[in-house]
Structure 1
């Protein structure tokens, strides 16, 4: 299993049940969705009786198969004397893309291009590149970008094409475009650099991530929490824990740190303090039937840290369920990480369930001393309630670490 399938398991919509959770607070949300166009897609919205919900959105959403034409629906709507505001086209297009109906979304985009009354924004051009890639392939997306006028080659369109290359793991193409990006003197944001780091993680070239971070800093671009998470994951994958701690300290001192960042940092500190993760772990690499190594599992744990820090319990549940479905036996670190996340978010019941799962695991045996380290770490970070909750759970289960 590749780094991309591990690290982006919450970004891609997969049958494993992990749903799209990308950079929801960032404009990058439009890029992170399934890479395939279903040839037999059936719209889940039930058919409405003729005349019911007879607006433009409903007419387009009632189209069942990609071969049916959204353009015909638009033409008929206009012939009936209706107007189509650009904001409505954008809203419907977003809904179509969220439903993986890329061909219909591209038809709406083509309608905007072919009607002069619509002025395309930078985001509209970027969406077209993404849709071209999904419907016709990477070559079509590339040709479209290169044919754009200079005024339309913006931060958004460059990043959209970079995302296409990253998704296809076309490292050489991505690096060539990245050099053009650096030479363009355009004001790129963290998303562009995150794309390059994600690519390097996906192809196992974690050693290249620090150079992207250096580029970001030289351009005085403000990193977001996902930048830090990718950076930390690359160091953890290399078992460079000293660097992880240094990054965490840099995060703590960031002027942009908010409550979610602090929670992330607290959880990360508990993880690295209680988990006793160090370079010795590299001597015990274990591969599963799915080729997951111990260093890659660190990335999975860091996803738990990220979404725990952001307060997203649903994503925690999904990651943990996915982790349990793998063939590899989990180690104490994995249990420590998820227990810590649940406790920090105040979900003592779920933490207790994980402890029961840990007790029932064939390996390793339940580690009461590790739980004691968690409580010490919680107390040291001022998370007294989490420490008390863990102590109560262990006492109820006759596993009080004070007796060991």
Structure 2
């Protein structure tokens, strides 16, 4: 069960620092650089850029520093005779959130709710709850939610608060809120249940994921792609492959799954059921799956965890080759999962090759902090020899995460 232990340790370490997402941090570093430049030259940059592209979004994005006010920009824009539509505000807010500029996005939300001409939707309230969590913390988000009129306490705003609780691993608060949602007799969609499933995955309570799926079925709520993804991942982490097969069969008859999704399910079942798949056949199958989108694709990670736990290196090699051949964007998590599996099996040569591939990747920048999390995960479950070996390989490849952290 070492595979399951490593999976759980990795998940805990990945979410321990909530300000650092489980992915490359290059964008964050770049943002810091840009803010440093802006703090010195912001006036001249604004003047230069304003002549090139003078629209509302450009003015807001030129602010850079969180302490500068979006409200002032909006007021100036209106004073110049321009109109600001609700659609404009929602679009700019979305782009700001994508750039992790939560304080500025919250100021746009404040403008929206303080102007009576705008018809605020449940989604607008939900976004504001999440922004309050990011900027002021969960207590502020709770107070805001409780102060909403009863008409605004909908499944969408409840789910937004649940999302904040789940992100902070507040199990008791999440479960209490879910009971409150049920008492309110609100119509729920899959996303609310997915939040609970994500929470239980993150804290290692894998057995509760299937219970949530059972609850969905009792409430006649149809699972979506992410429900299936979480459900399968929980069973795979527990190495319960009989259950995985049942889920795949269930998905195949689900009317919500399109043709591309069904083709991928067939491929996943071949991986699970076949012990003598030729490389040539594998290549042609992977080529046929290139139409599957990133959002629809069940992560290959659960297959890597499965065959790593079973000690099947041949399958690991095949799956890793397949993933690298596909057109899907590789992620840091893909690399960490295959590294952990090869390490557990003691294949240091392959570990070095994966590190080289990661360093040369054009889709996922090598992240030393993620390797450090992997080191910590092996130590946490008592596999210090594996951690030592991994550290040695990293040093040989010139990417020692411990050196980078000093």
* TM-score after normalising by structure 1: 0.65
- Checking the alignment, whether the CA contact within 8 Å between 1:2 and 1:203 is kept in structure 2 is no
Whole-Å separation in 2 of the counterparts to 1:232 and 1:19 = 31
Structure-to-structure mapping, 1:5-404, within 5 angstroms: 14=21, 16-17=23-24, 42=35, 47=45, 49=48, 50-274=50-274, 310-312=292-294, 331-341=313-323, 363=347
Whole-Å separation in 2 of the counterparts to 1:41 and 1:143 = 34
User: Against the structure 1 CA distance between its residues 311 and 164, is the aligned structure 2 distance closer, same or farther, given a 3 Å change threshold?
Assistant: same
User: Against the structure 1 CA distance between its residues 127 and 317, is the aligned structure 2 distance closer, same or farther, given a 3 Å change threshold?
Assistant: closer
Q: Aligned to 1:310, what secondary structure does the other structure show?
A: coil
Q: Aligned to 1:185, what secondary structure does the other structure show?
A: coil
- Checking the alignment, whether the CA contact within 8 Å between 1:330 and 1:363 is kept in structure 2 is no
Cα drift, residue 337 of structure 1 = 2.2
Whole-Å separation in 2 of the counterparts to 1:204 and 1:264 = 27
Query: Structure 1, residues 250-270: CA drift from partner, whole Å, max 9, x if none?
Result: 111112221232133123212
- Checking the alignment, whether the CA contact within 8 Å between 2:260 and 2:292 is kept in structure 1 is yes
Paired residue total: 302
Whole-Å separation in 2 of the counterparts to 1:181 and 1:87 = 30
Query: Structure 1, residues 318-338: CA drift from partner, whole Å, max 9, x if none?
Result: 979x99xxxxx9944432323
Q: Aligned to 1:42, what secondary structure does the other structure show?
A: helix
Cα drift, residue 363 of structure 1 = 2.4
Whole-Å separation in 2 of the counterparts to 1:319 and 1:18 = 21
- Checking the alignment, whether the CA contact within 8 Å between 1:3 and 1:203 is kept in structure 2 is no
Higher RCO, 1 vs 2 (CA within 8 Å, ≥6 residues apart): 2
Whole-Å separation in 2 of the counterparts to 1:312 and 1:16 = 16
Tell me the C-alpha RMSD between the 2 structures. Answer: 4.2
- Checking the alignment, whether the CA contact within 8 Å between 1:106 and 1:131 is kept in structure 2 is yes
- Checking the alignment, whether the CA contact within 8 Å between 1:43 and 1:65 is kept in structure 2 is no
Cα drift, residue 162 of structure 1 = 0.6
Paired position in structure 2 for 1:389: none
Cα drift, residue 317 of structure 1 = 11
Paired position in structure 1 for 2:360: none
- Checking the alignment, whether the CA contact within 8 Å between 1:66 and 1:101 is kept in structure 2 is yes
Whole-Å separation in 1 of the counterparts to 2:228 and 2:136 = 34
User: Against the structure 1 CA distance between its residues 121 and 136, is the aligned structure 2 distance closer, same or farther, given a 3 Å change threshold?
Assistant: same
Whole-Å separation in 1 of the counterparts to 2:231 and 2:87 = 37
- Checking the alignment, whether the CA contact within 8 Å between 1:3 and 1:201 is kept in structure 2 is no
Whole-Å separation in 2 of the counterparts to 1:19 and 1:158 = 33
Q: Aligned to 1:135, what secondary structure does the other structure show?
A: helix
Q: Aligned to 2:83, what secondary structure does the other structure show?
A: coil
Whole-Å separation in 1 of the counterparts to 2:201 and 2:61 = 37
Whole-Å separation in 1 of the counterparts to 2:202 and 2:162 = 14
* TM-score after normalising by structure 2: 0.64
Whole-Å separation in 2 of the counterparts to 1:261 and 1:243 = 19
User: Gapped runs of 5+ residues in structure 2?
Assistant: 1-7, 277-285, 306-310, 330-337, 351-406
- Checking the alignment, whether the CA contact within 8 Å between 1:264 and 1:308 is kept in structure 2 is no
User: Gapped runs of 5+ residues in structure 1?
Assistant: 21-33, 277-303, 324-328, 348-353, 367-404
Cα drift, residue 161 of structure 1 = 0.6
User: Against the structure 1 CA distance between its residues 183 and 336, is the aligned structure 2 distance closer, same or farther, given a 3 Å change threshold?
Assistant: farther
